[in-house]
Amino acid sequence: MLIAIGRRLNLLIITLFILCLGSYVLAFLFPGDTLTNLSGTPPLSADQSHQLQLMYALSEGWFSGFWTYLKLTLSGDWGVSLNSQTPVFDDILYLLPASLELSLYAMVISLLVGLPLGVLAGLKHRTYTDLGILSVSLAGFSFPVFWLSLLLILIFALQLGYLPMSGRISLLYDIPYHTGFILIDILQSDVAVKDAALKDALRHLVLPTLSLSIVTTALVIRLIRRSVVTVYSSDFIKAAYTKGLSHSQVFWRHGMKNALLPIMPQLAMQFTVLLTNAMIVEVIFSWPGIGEWLIQAIYQRDYPAIRGGMLAVSAIVVTFTISVDLIVRILYPLNKRQFYAQA
């Protein structure tokens, strides 16, 4: 068990290290002055330039240069944005919760919808119920996210006018920033019109969450269905029936556990797909999250921001994936071989 944990932690640290290295190399590969790309402040005088040179230890060879960069990165000094001259790290911390919030709700919804439907399709394997669910999920899986969100805006926001089409909350409400999660912030704040603000925020959430979760729901359904079908055709389910257990006893005691645990890492992997899709959706819905910010940075060739955003998003994805994998390994008694990542 310790070996398994050690291996995963090793993987995590090495991957993060390589990401840092990649982001450092990016500063040299981007067009323009390397120092400007690293720090985000165009040097105004020779004196300032010299100071930055010292700060990033560029003249002392690439190794100590990277070492200095690593220390700065770990201490949260990621340079400032070329456009707004605000620290990149603070920007990311400020914007990340919005993206996480969106992805989290979309994930919860996909699981809430996908899990029962997937299990149902798996149990009713090769019936019309199964085929129906499968075709719906295939359709949902095939929609491109950007097209789907535009379509949703067109129908629900423009044609029918039920829902707002952009932003997190109407400008009328002034919610102080605490955690960055809008719903929590509203609940914590002491604005007079709390209920109305909450309702408004929820209305703003509907369309982005929906367009994000449709694709993920389809993926979740397919994953779970396959797993349930495999487990239900295995010998130990038959053996459980021969013990005289009822359908629900077999389902809860043997079926579910064995169907869900092995695909947990794959389900968690959907979160990273979600985060990627969230960036597209954020741009379309002008959702003030890290995706929209990063794409703006790319448009404006804001190199320190691109570098920081890339590092932050990939670090989150890697950390999340590895920790879910680790948790599942701890919960689920697998073959010893699989602890050593041989199978």
Partner 1 sequence: MPMLDIKNLTLEIDTPMGWVSALDKVSLSIEPSEIRALVGESGSGKSLIVKSIVGAIPERWRVTADRMNWKGNDLLGMSASQRRAITRNDISVILQNASASLDPSATLREQIEESIPAHRLSKGWFWQRKQQRLDIAIQELHRVGIRDHNQCLSSYVHQLPEDICQKFSIAMALISRPKLLIADNPTVGMETTTKVQILKLLTRLNKTAGLSVLFVSHDLLAIAAMANTMTVLYCGQTVESGKMSQIKRRPLHPYTQALLDSAPSFRRDLPPKSPLSCLDGTIPTLQHLPIGCRLGPRCPRAQRECVKMPITRRIHGHEYACHFPLHRGKA
- Binding stretches for partner 1 (CB under 8 A): 126, 233-236, 238-246, 253-254, 257-258, 261, 332-336
| 50 Cβ contact list (under 8 Å, min separation 6) | none
Q: Which is nearer to partner 1, 234 or 286 (CB)?
A: 234
- Cα end-to-end distance, the chain, whole Å: 16
Give Cα 288 to chain centroid, integer Å: 15
One-letter amino acid at 262 equals P
Q: Which is nearer to partner 1, 229 or 298 (CB)?
A: 229
Which H or E element spans position 164? Answer: none
Shortest distance, position 233 Cβ to partner 1, whole Å: 8
Say if CB 324 and CB 265 are below 8 A apart.
yes
**Helix ranges (DSSP H) in 285-302:** 290-299
Shortest distance, position 9 Cβ to partner 1, whole Å: 24
Q: Which is nearer to partner 1, 320 or 332 (CB)?
A: 332
Q: Which is nearer to partner 1, 12 or 260 (CB)?
A: 260
Shortest distance, position 186 Cβ to partner 1, whole Å: 41
Residue reference for tokens 């295995």: 234
As beta bridge partners, residue 150 has none
Shortest distance, position 267 Cβ to partner 1, whole Å: 16
Q: Which is nearer to partner 1, 312 or 328 (CB)?
A: 328
Q: How far apart are CA 234 and CA 3, in angstroms?
A: 30
Shortest distance, position 249 Cβ to partner 1, whole Å: 8
Q: Which is nearer to partner 1, 156 or 332 (CB)?
A: 332
By the 10 Å C-beta count (0-12 exposed, 13-18 middle, 19+ buried), 38 is classed as buried
Shortest distance, position 335 Cβ to partner 1, whole Å: 5
